[in-house]
């Protein structure tokens, strides 16, 4: 079977995909047209005749079998993808926001029209995590997914682990092209939120909206947290995590986590991504690799195209689009808590009492004198997340506590 | 499409596969018969009527569409698998020795007969590395594969890292059921050799015989090596490694390697397996997970069955069965070398001279006094492997050198 391909978008990723297709490494894959903003712009090694500025020249061309969507953002990507599916074209997309928000609609329409939609590149770049969850682990009852899903924040946190301050690490990331001029989406965890909701939908086989993911970014982490974490044998990572508590309820969040230094996840530094999947049969499986960049992303996109090329005609829904889960904050976790307290007698006793009243016990504690106050850092034993967050309110009210500086989960 | 399944073998893995199939978690997969040695033996939750002691009752049954082979060893597995394929039955196997030695014959016959042969469980247990190499990374030019492919030796080495002597660690592994009563296949690296030759064949797309893999096991590693490696910032692992030097020549070996402690591979301890794959697009991808055990192995076997169930009819050869590579020892590597030398002046000078004459320069060196001699440990700069091994002969001839205690590659 041969496939005629239309490419929507020719930024760094689209350009790389175009080059690979043009190289003729792949039998029977023919790049027919590329949607660009400016068809006059010279793109080395791509024949100008391939360019069009009109989406309909691709979407309405009956000779095109498959579109690759690398535009990013919700619109016009959504309209284009739905139109393509209605025209019975297969879709390969790298668009996490699109698939997180509109996957239900897109997959339902694709089932109706009998075409395939693949999105390996939408999560964790070159790491084949979607295929692993959907196909290789199909026999498993998956119970948990944990991921370092954003290379920008992982780069910044790795630099902070090495001693940089946040602002300096962000500046470096921007200079190296790892962070956008407006880095909000990455820093606030929104990018990770889209990705963990896609992975959770596939793993637990019911659609989970990104809106249901509680989300804390990395601005709340300071260099001081890294120093303290390291002393206690931990590193800090921004994780997306989804955990099935029972058939009906799911804990899902994006948030900074302390990770023990003997867990390989703690060694995944720089722009790398990593995903850990827990299943009843496979146990724990971890995938580590490049989470972004033109080549790793093209690896996934081309893998998807080749999968469609060799697939049968049968189309499956990847998840139940009608039911979902109750999102709960009843997951059990250890917590890291850093407080700025008055440097006076009885502080630890006061805090210990308040925590005990809330059912919280302490596993490790470190107090350090600072200029006008003291820094009290503790790690709790396991507690229901909701209880921990509510007990923070009691801690905050103590006269000896000046400020809750940080509070993160411990993996 | 529904599949009627015949299971060849009911040891720990076969039993787990049978339980999963009987549980009816999977639509349209029907376990019809199980080949056992003793049909009177009671196996909990499996109806006795499924058992047969006659292979032909499965292989010649026209109602059976697919066989799962979990017998292990070459024979009678090879005869059974070839017979099944001739009877147009699909094959799922966990047998690395079979597929490493006879893959060429088996895949060629399967192509002729139009049936699928899947072997995810043959390499790295629950880790979906075969599917990753064959499908997800299909768009890549893969250049190197490195793996911790044997859980038994990885367990022993992890215990040795923790301070155990080899014999004690082996005894523990046997008590826990991780090592066989006769552990030769694991300890000498034969098991890893089968696995790396299968992975290399798939990754580089030409059949590579396990006989062409140079192989050193873990008996050559002592606790002293771990202590010295740790001082220099390394751990020691038994790796299978295959590296393409150019279109025609390949370096492939199983051998102990020093791995830097900041490489996540060095943290893969206990019975875990890990595989790192390097490709032109994906960069470096690492998969870590359970390399053995009934459940992880069943995860891969059931994944394979479900893949066949949803596959089209087209059968592909996974590699070129007619051409192969020239196996070369011209790969470039750093080496770790531990020598027992006379505790006298000029030893380092003598060794430095001999190494320099052979084109070898030294990156790090540590000398320690022992009772009647000294222990000299060094790490070389990169050198062609063949040159390193030939220069060892000159080192051995030096009057100040009592013994070459260890020599391992550095990753």
- We report the CATH number of the domain holding residue A166 as 3.30.360.10
Residue B307, domain member (yes or no)? no
Question: What is the rounded end-to-end Cα distance, in angstroms, of chain B?
Answer: 47
Residue A51 region by backbone torsions, left for phi larger than 0, else alpha for psi between -120 and 50, else beta? beta
Interface residue A315 vs chain B (CB under 8 A):
no
Asked if B281's CB is within 8 angstroms of A296's CB, the reply is yes
- B110 and B193 housed in the same domain: no
Do residues A202 and A147 make contact, with C-beta atoms less than 8 angstroms apart?
no
Mean pLDDT over B215-239 rounds to 94
pLDDT number for residue A370: 87
Residue A40, domain member (yes or no)? yes
User: Which residue among A25, A283, A287 sits closest to B287, beta carbon to beta carbon?
Assistant: A287
Interface with chain A: mutation pick from B281, B283, B291, B309, highest number of A CBs within 10 Å = B281
Residue A70, domain member (yes or no)? yes
Asked if B302's CB is within 8 angstroms of A290's CB, the reply is no
CA-based nearest distance B146→chain A, Å: 14
* DSSP, residue by residue, B223-274: HHHHHHHHHTTEEEEEEEEEEE-SSSEEEEEEEEEEEETTSGGGG--TTEEE
CA-based nearest distance A45→chain B, Å: 18
Asked if A281's CB is within 8 angstroms of B20's CB, the reply is yes
SS3 B346: coil
Asked if B299's CB is within 8 angstroms of A281's CB, the reply is yes
Residues 6 or more apart whose CB falls under 8 angstroms from that of A150 comprise: A186, A189, A191, A192, A195, A238, A273, A291
A12-22 vs A294-310: helix axis angle to the nearest 10? 50
Contacts of B20 in chain A (CB under 8 A): 139, 281
User: Which residue among B26, B282, B314 sits closest to A296, beta carbon to beta carbon?
Assistant: B282
pLDDT number for residue B267: 87
User: Which residue among B131, B281, B288 sits closest to A126, beta carbon to beta carbon?
Assistant: B281
- B158 and B88 housed in the same domain: no
pLDDT number for residue A89: 98
pLDDT number for residue A25: 84
Do residues B204 and B142 make contact, with C-beta atoms less than 8 angstroms apart?
yes
Residue A193, domain member (yes or no)? yes
Token pair belonging to B20: 């999963």
Residue B308, domain member (yes or no)? no
A84: closest CA among A7, A15, A140? A7
- B101 and B157 housed in the same domain: no
CA-based nearest distance A113→chain B, Å: 19
Residues 6 or more apart whose CB falls under 8 angstroms from that of A156 comprise: A166, A169, A170, A173, A179, A187, A218
User: Which residue among A20, A136, A288 sits closest to B131, beta carbon to beta carbon?
Assistant: A136
Asked if A128's CB is within 8 angstroms of B132's CB, the reply is yes
CB atoms under 10 Å from CB of A170, counted, come to: 24
Residue A298, domain member (yes or no)? no
Helix (H) or strand (E) holding A12: helix A12-22
User: Which residue among A135, A262, A286 sits closest to B307, beta carbon to beta carbon?
Assistant: A135
- A67 and A139 housed in the same domain: no
Contacts of B300 in chain A (CB under 8 A): 136
Q: What average pLDDT is seen over chain B?
A: 94
Residue B186, domain member (yes or no)? yes
Mean pLDDT over A307-319 rounds to 86
CA B293/CA B270 separation, integer angstroms: 13
Mean pLDDT over A392-398 rounds to 91
Residue finishing a domain among A84, A118, A152: A118
Contacts of A139 in chain B (CB under 8 A): 20, 25-26, 298-299, 302-303, 305-306
B88 part of the active site: no
Token pair belonging to A334: 């250890």
Interface residue B20 vs chain A (CB under 8 A):
yes
Asked if A268's CB is within 8 angstroms of B302's CB, the reply is no
Do residues B273 and B149 make contact, with C-beta atoms less than 8 angstroms apart?
yes
Do residues A228 and A338 make contact, with C-beta atoms less than 8 angstroms apart?
yes
Upper half-sphere CA count for residue A222 (Cβ side, 13 Å) = 9
Alpha-carbon separation of residue A52 from A37, A55, B232 (angstroms): 8, 8, 58
Residue B12 main-chain phi, psi, to 5 deg:
-60, -40
pLDDT band at B181 (very low <50, low <70, confident <90, very high): confident
Do residues A374 and A347 make contact, with C-beta atoms less than 8 angstroms apart?
yes
Interface residue B19 vs chain A (CB under 8 A):
no
- B71 and B137 housed in the same domain: no
DSSP state at residue B367: E
B244-294 residue pLDDT tens: 999 999 999 999 999 998 888 998 999 999 999 999 999 999 999 999 899
Alpha-carbon separation of residue A212 from A142, A189, B124 (angstroms): 20, 13, 36
Token pair belonging to B361: 């320069």
- B76 and B114 housed in the same domain: yes
Contacts of B143 in chain A (CB under 8 A): none
CA-based nearest distance A25→chain B, Å: 8
A211: closest CA among A97, A93, A94? A97
Do residues A182 and A313 make contact, with C-beta atoms less than 8 angstroms apart?
no
- We report the CATH number of the domain holding residue B393 as 3.30.70.260
- B110 and B165 housed in the same domain: no
Cα angle value B56/B62/B64 (rounded, 5°): 80
- B104 and B134 housed in the same domain: no
Partners of residue A332 on adjacent β-strands:
A384
ipTM of the complex model: 0.92
- A207 and A276 housed in the same domain: yes
% of chain A surpassing 90 pLDDT: 86
CA B17/CA B22 separation, integer angstroms: 9
CB atoms under 10 Å from CB of B79, counted, come to: 12
Q: How many CB pairs under 8 A join A and B?
A: 149
**Model-level pTM?**
0.93
Query: Which residue segment(s) compose the domain that B341 sits in?
Result: 332-410
Over 70: is that where the pLDDT of A313 sits? no
Longest dimension (CA), chain A: 79
A263-311 residue pLDDT tens: 889 989 999 999 999 999 999 999 999 998 999 999 999 999 999 998 7
Question: What is the rounded end-to-end Cα distance, in angstroms, of chain A?
Answer: 47
B20-41 residue pLDDT tens: 999 978 989 999 999 999 988 9
- A21 and A108 housed in the same domain: yes
- Annotated catalytic residue, options B195, B243, B278, B334: B195
- B82 and B161 housed in the same domain: no
CA B263/CA A272 separation, integer angstroms: 13
CB atoms under 10 Å from CB of B28, counted, come to: 10
Longest dimension (CA), chain B: 79
Interface with chain B: mutation pick from A138, A271, A312, highest number of B CBs within 10 Å = A138
CA-based nearest distance A400→chain B, Å: 41
User: Which residue among B26, B137, B310 sits closest to A299, beta carbon to beta carbon?
Assistant: B137
% of chain B surpassing 70 pLDDT: 100
Helix (H) or strand (E) holding B142: strand B142-148
Mean pLDDT over A118-133 rounds to 97
CA B132/CA B124 separation, integer angstroms: 12
pLDDT number for residue A180: 87
B370-394 residue pLDDT tens: 888 999 999 999 999 999 999 999 9
- We report the CATH number of the domain holding residue A67 as 3.40.50.720
Q: Which residue of A has its CA nearest to B286?
A: A288
pLDDT band at B313 (very low <50, low <70, confident <90, very high): low
Helix (H) or strand (E) holding A404: strand A401-410
A183: closest CA among A195, A166, A196, A198? A166
Alpha-carbon separation of residue B338 from A362, B42, B391 (angstroms): 47, 54, 14
CA B173/CA B74 separation, integer angstroms: 25
- In what side-by-side order are the strands of the sheet with B66-69? B51-52, B29-35, B3-8, B66-69, B90-93, B117-118
Helix (H) or strand (E) holding A195: helix A190-204
CA-based nearest distance B305→chain A, Å: 9
Residue A239, domain member (yes or no)? yes
- B72 and B114 housed in the same domain: yes
B125-168 residue pLDDT tens: 999 999 999 999 999 999 999 999 999 999 999 999 999 999 99
Do residues B238 and B152 make contact, with C-beta atoms less than 8 angstroms apart?
no
Mean pLDDT over A109-129 rounds to 97
Asked if A311's CB is within 8 angstroms of B312's CB, the reply is yes
Asked if A312's CB is within 8 angstroms of B310's CB, the reply is yes
Task: Give the total number of structural domains in chain B.
Answer: 3
Interface residue A279 vs chain B (CB under 8 A):
yes
Q: Which residue of B has its CA nearest to A268?
A: B264
Total residues found in chain B within this entry: 411
- Annotated catalytic residue, options A33, A195, A243, A278: A195
Interface residue A232 vs chain B (CB under 8 A):
no
CA-based nearest distance A147→chain B, Å: 14
Residues 6 or more apart whose CB falls under 8 angstroms from that of A244 comprise: A142, A143, A144, A204, A250, A325
DSSP state at residue B107: H
CA B97/CA B269 separation, integer angstroms: 24
Alpha-carbon separation of residue B41 from A330, B13, B18 (angstroms): 46, 16, 15
Interface residue B23 vs chain A (CB under 8 A):
no
Residue finishing a domain among B52, B84, B118: B118
Interface with chain B: mutation pick from A94, A136, A290, A296, highest number of B CBs within 10 Å = A136
């Amino acid at each position: 079977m041969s496939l005629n391909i239309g490419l929507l978008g020719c930024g760094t990723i689209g350009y790389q995909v175009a080059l690979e297709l043009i190289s003729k490494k792949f039998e029977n894959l023919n790049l027919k047209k590329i949607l660009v903003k400016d068809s006059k712009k010279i793109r080395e090694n791509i024949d100008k005749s391939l360019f069009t500025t009109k989406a309909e020249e691709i979407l309405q061309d009956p000779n095109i079998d498959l579109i690759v969507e690398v535009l990013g953002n919700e619109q016009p990507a959504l309209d284009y993808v739905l139109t393509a599916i209605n025209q019975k074209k297969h879709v390969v997309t790298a668009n996490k926001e699109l698939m997180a928000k509109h996957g239900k609609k897109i997959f339902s329409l694709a089932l109706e029209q009998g075409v395939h939609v693949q999105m390996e590149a939408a999560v964790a770049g070159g790491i084949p995590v979607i295929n692993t969850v959907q196909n290789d682990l199909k026999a498993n009852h998956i119970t948990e997914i944990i991921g370092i899903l954003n290379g920008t924040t992982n780069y910044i946190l790795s630099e902070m682990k090495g001693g940089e301050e946040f602002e300096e690490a962000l500046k470096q990331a921007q200079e190296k092209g790892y962070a956008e001029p407006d880095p909000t989406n990455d820093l606030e965890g929104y990018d990770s939120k889209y990705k963990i909701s896609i992975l959770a939908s596939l793993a637990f086989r019911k659609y989970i909206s990104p809106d249901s993911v509680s989300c804390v970014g990395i601005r709340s982490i300071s260099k001081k947290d890294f120093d303290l974490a390291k002393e206690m044998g931990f590193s800090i990572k921004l994780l997306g995590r989804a955990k099935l508590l029972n058939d009906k309820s799911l804990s899902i969040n994006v948030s900074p986590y302390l990770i023990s230094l003997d867990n390989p996840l703690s060694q995944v530094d720089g722009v790398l991504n990593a995903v850990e999947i827990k299943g009843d049969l496979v146990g724990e499986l971890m995938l580590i690799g490049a989470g972004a960049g033109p080549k790793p992303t093209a690896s996934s996109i081309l893998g998807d195209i080749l999968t469609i090329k060799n697939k049968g005609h049968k189309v499956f829904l990847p998840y139940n689009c009608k039911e979902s889960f109750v999102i709960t904050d009843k997951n059990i976790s250890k917590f890291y808590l850093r407080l700025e307290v008055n440097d006076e007698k009885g502080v630890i006793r006061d805090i210990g009492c308040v925590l005990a009243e809330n059912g919280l016990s302490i596993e490790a504690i470190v107090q350090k004198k600072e200029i006008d106050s003291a820094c009290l850092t503790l790690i709790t034993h396991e507690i229901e997340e909701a209880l921990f967050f509510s007990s923070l309110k009691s801690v905050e009210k103590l006269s000896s506590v000046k400020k809750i500086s940080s509070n993160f989960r411990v993996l």
